[in-house]
Chains A and B, each alone.
Chain A
Amino acid sequence: MPLINLPAFAGELLADFERLKTLRVDTPVIQPAEPFLDMAGEDLRRRIFMTESETGESLCLRPEFTIPVCLRHIETATGTPQRYAYLGEVFRQRREGSSEFYQAGIEDLGDADTAGADARVIGDAMLVLANRLPDRRLKVTLGDQSVFEAVIAACGLPAGWQKRLIHAFGDQKLLQKLLGELADPKSPGVFGPEVERLAIMGILGDEESLVGHLAETMEATGYSTNASRSPRDIARRLKEKMELATTRLDKAALAVMREFLAFDLPLAQAPAALHAFARKSKLKIDGALSLFDARVAAVAKAGADPGLIRYRAAFGRPLDYYTGLVFEIEAEGAPAVLAGGGRFDRLLTLLGAREHIPAVGFSLWLDRIERAIAAAGGAK
């Protein structure tokens, strides 16, 4: 098993990070496995390298840096705002390439100026990539989870459908499938015989009596009413499910959603296009759009070339902790994503931070950057 050596440009990259006024941090290679599995889901288990401590605690080799950097921030109780930089090895089984490789990046924690911090992170990622690949045109794809959520909410769908669609953001195939189902519901939903019985008993429509009935049933069958889903959770979801089954999206609303998801245009043109779209479709999404506008303005002010950035409305990244901005950067002519990042305002509280800490960051795949440099003829 050949070890990957530190990429030749690591020193220059770290110097860039320092000029960007970040604090370089290191985190232990051996990490508790729980936070990664909790945030990314059980699927990650097959891809990370796990072991156990003598006392039975699940441990793993660091599969990425965002969670360790955030955990370190919480543990050391460092104040915010704080901009961290990291460069180190991560361990993850990938479809192609070695299972141990280098990543570097910046995590910007606690800056209340959302638009400004977003723009700075995009600008920083573009800058450090341009410094490694001076002759290659960068291609930045930008998406926005919160604009998507605002459009979904403004279309007036029931809560259950909103959740399904939001959960599918970034997964093109799933999203198209859900829209298809919304336009043309094939199945009225599967309901068990109990639900029919409840309907006959006449308590299906009344939340309070339904909750009472569920609580009685749970007690009679030895289920605790608070360890897992409560009677009220079940009653509310049952109502949501009945709405899911009966909702049909009319042609006009479906066309609005499809029109939105088809947006793929230079970032500079996106604000005007989105405002025109909202006006024409009579959608109230001013809150999300004003943040979007502010970010576009801030990107230009931060000195990043907006001409290299495209906004794609359907673009998301497959991790459910992103809350707003998401982006990826490629170099023209190379198919691999060299940098990816986004905003994760909920992550620190989920990891145990006492106060709300907004956060945004990006990470770089150093092995792919190395290959892109080599392909460009060994230029700096």
Chain B
Amino acid sequence: MTITIALPSKGRMKDDASAIFERAGMRIVAVGNDRSYRGRVEGADDVEVAFLSASEISREVGSGAVDFGVTGEDLVREGIADADARVEFAARLGFGHADVVVAVPEVWYDVDTMADLGDVAADFRARHGRRLAIATKYWRLTQQFFSGSHGIQLYRIVESLGATEGAPASGSADIIVDITSTGSTLKANHLKILSDGVILRSEACLVRARKPSHEGNPAIDRIISSVRSVL
């Protein structure tokens, strides 16, 4: 059986992932030229590498089209329903740190917790004739956190695929759910993170598709333990 590993196709993520695999004794080389989207692991003929975009990686691992992927936990939990049943987070790789957070305008002096936000949301339509609007690209994580963990259901999601932090000031949404690593962009846009508003502390992970063919397969276990051994 050939094992396929999906790795980020560009940027810091690609370099950091390759470095970890190299330390783990699996040097990754591109097939053909440097910019090829296919690769292999030196000395392991039964392993293929596919270079994909980070969000594609989460989808491919979720559907089981590849055996392993390196991608952000946020993308996996956002992209796959019931993620823990379908994939295993085999190792947390220690790079690509970012938090998915609930942030509101700094000037909302009365809102510091999710409970405060729940009060504001419950009352919002009566005051403004519309629901509280949340700009985000994280539909699933937002719904799980708001209704699952905090019992808040009265809000609307406004899809935002970029420059989400600007939405509250521009008036296209009231608050945001977005990813932040240093918090500086939030600050620059006069937004604050709620004290219990961290939905997910994400980082790059080695993610395995839960497939029956992996059961008792030594090659699968070897890849996981080699990666874990160098973390």
Q: Give chain A's interface residues, CB within 8 Å of chain B.
A: 37-38, 40-43, 45-46, 160, 163-164, 167, 171, 174, 190-192, 194-195, 198, 214, 217-218, 221-224, 227-229, 233-234, 237-238, 240-241, 244, 320, 350
Contacts and interface: CB of A to CB of B under 8 A. Distances in A.
A42 B113 contact: no
A234 B143 contact: no
Given A192-B112, A218-B107, A42 B119 contact: no
Interface string B93-128: 000000000000111111111001001101101011
Given A191-B112, A221-B106, A43 B171 contact: no
B143 A233 contact: no
Contact of B108 (A160, A191, A224, A234): A234
A194 B104 CA distance: 14
24 contacts: A41-B153, A42-B142, A42-B153, A42-B155, A43-B143, A43-B147, A45-B143, A160-B119, A164-B119, A191-B112, A214-B107, A214-B109, A221-B106, A221-B107, A228-B168, A234-B107, A234-B108, A234-B109, A237-B119, A238-B109, A238-B110, A240-B119, A241-B119, A244-B119
A366 to B, nearest CB: 27
A229 B143 contact: no
B120 A190 contact: no
A222 B154 contact: no
A42 B112 contact: no
A239 B14 CA distance: 51
Contacts of B119: 160, 163-164, 237, 240-241, 244
Interface of B: 105-113, 116, 119-120, 122-123, 125, 127-128, 130-131, 139, 142-143, 146-147, 151, 153-157, 168-169, 171, 174, 190, 192, 195
Contacts of A174: 151
Contacts of A40: 153
A38 B156 CA distance: 7
A218 B111 CA distance: 15
B143 A46 contact: yes
B163 to A, nearest CB: 14
Contacts of A41: 131, 147, 153-155
Contact of B110 (A43, A45, A171, A234): A234
A167 B126 CA distance: 13
B176 to A, nearest CB: 12
Contacts of B105: 221, 223, 228
A320 B110 CA distance: 24
A362 to B, nearest CB: 23
- 6 closest A-B pairs by beta carbon, nearest first, are A227-B171, A41-B153, A238-B110, A221-B190, A237-B110, A190-B112
Contact of A229 (B108, B113, B151, B154): B108
Nearest to B166: A222
A194 B106 contact: yes
Contacts of B192: 192
Given A42-B143, A164-B119, A229-B174, 20 more contacts: A38-B130, A41-B131, A42-B155, A43-B147, A163-B123, A190-B116, A190-B195, A194-B109, A218-B107, A223-B107, A224-B169, A224-B171, A227-B171, A234-B108, A234-B109, A234-B110, A237-B111, A244-B119, A320-B154, A350-B125
